[in-house]
Structure 1
Amino acid sequence: DQSTLFLDARTGRFDNKQQQLDLHKDIFLRTSTGYEARLNSAFVDMNKGTVSSDERVDVKLTNGTLTADRLRITEGGDVIRFEGNVVMHLDKLDEPAVAQPASPEPAPPAKTRTPQNRSANSR
């Protein structure tokens, strides 16, 4: 996935030599795939393609919300790990198809006897 990550923060410090960004206060993170997160602090290492935060994170998913005590984004954004008191609330999920009872095997035809028109005196 080649999604793009957008970050906005009230304060931050960028180390140009190390390509590291230390952000603080009112951090808003948004991805091009529709996820949004609010954090109080975040450390971004652009050389490694990582973002980490050791403070509470509130995430708005496309179908719900998630909160956690810590956040780790690694492998250029391919892996996102939430740690500590992780709580996820999902909006209404797609309803699974209502299970239809299995059709019973057709019953074999009932065996009937044809009357033998016999009288008690026949041999």
Structure 2
Amino acid sequence: MTSLTASFGHDAPQSIPHASWEPRRALALSVARRRTTFVRGLRFFFTAAALSIAGILVVQLILGSGGGAAREAEAVSTDVRMTNPRFTGRDENLTPYAVTADVAIRRRDAADGVTELERPRLDYNFLDAGADVSQVLAESGRYDLPNRILDLYSDVNFRTRAGYAFQSDHARIFLREERVTGEEAVEGTGPMGTIRADSYEISDGGNRIVFTGNVRARLTQSRTITQAETPSEEGNQ
């Protein structure tokens, strides 16, 4: 009996301590509280960032709506304007020329080397013989520097070596080739009379002039009075 009691006492179940579960529960609650605080902080941060971005966009929109005129003025100011410009060069025969004007304007969106001119002039002996150089005058023009082409518009006036003076609303002068063309009506006066045409071309250094389209010419020649044409005294009697 004694040994049985001792054996039973050895196999009897022991009680599970409950005190160790309480610290674990407290730790889990502390972690949950810290996580909740962290999530709330993130929400506050993102909310504040969104409000800041929205405020910046509103300020930019307000400034943009009031700055349109300033941007337009800045774009216009990129045009280069020059007073009394002078462009010089030589044609294929090494004849010098000079293009001048009251004002030259280089537009922001213009092709490279293209300049608008106000009241342009051309000093170039291709268009006038003798010691004096010619002056081609117009109300406006455009000079293509890379191609050496001068376009003249509105009230164009120029002279040639043959002594003719022409008036038209357009003249395109190819400075490299000593050639002038015009697609507008032209009127000319000179030693041989007057001429009018719809278009014209002056080439070969001014020695060749071609008029096309509704050409009208009036030739005048000086008449020499001969002895046969002079009335005799007998005829008058």
The TM-score, its normalising length taken from structure 2, stands at 0.38
Q: Structure 1 unaligned runs (5+)? A: 100-123
What is the RMSD computed on CA atoms of the aligned residues? 2.4
**Aligned counterpart in structure 2 of residue 75 of structure 1, from 195, 199, 204:** 204
Matches within 5 A, 1:1-123: 3=129, 5-95=134-224
Q: C-alpha distance in 2, partners of 1:85/1:97?
A: 37
Q: C-alpha distance in 1, partners of 2:144/2:199?
A: 23
1:48-107 deviations in Å (ceiling 9; x for gaps): 1110001110001124211011110111212111111111112354258688xxxxxxxx
Match of 1:119 in 2: none
Amino acid at match of 2:212: E
- Aligned partner of residue 136 in structure 2, secondary structure: strand
> Number of matched residues?
99
Q: C-alpha distance in 2, partners of 1:96/1:84?
A: 37
Q: C-alpha distance in 1, partners of 2:166/2:202?
A: 12
Rg (Cα) greater in structure: 2
Identify if the C-alpha distance between structure 1 residues 86 and 20 changes in structure 2 by more than 3 Å, giving closer, same or farther.
same
**Is the contact between residue 183 and residue 198 of structure 2 (CA under 8 Å) also seen in structure 1?**
yes
* Higher share of residues assigned strand: 1
- Identity among equivalent positions (%) equals 30
- Aligned partner of residue 26 in structure 1, secondary structure: strand
- Aligned partner of residue 8 in structure 1, secondary structure: coil
After TM superposition, what 4+ stretches of structure 1 lie above 4 angstroms from structure 2? 95-99
Match of 1:121 in 2: none
Amino acid at match of 1:56: A
Match of 1:117 in 2: none
- Aligned partner of residue 65 in structure 1, secondary structure: strand
Structure of greater relative contact order (alpha carbons < 8 Å, 6+ residues apart): 1
- Aligned partner of residue 22 in structure 1, secondary structure: strand
TM-superposed CA distance for 1:5, in Å, is 4.3
The TM-score, its normalising length taken from structure 1, stands at 0.69
* Higher share of residues assigned helix: 2
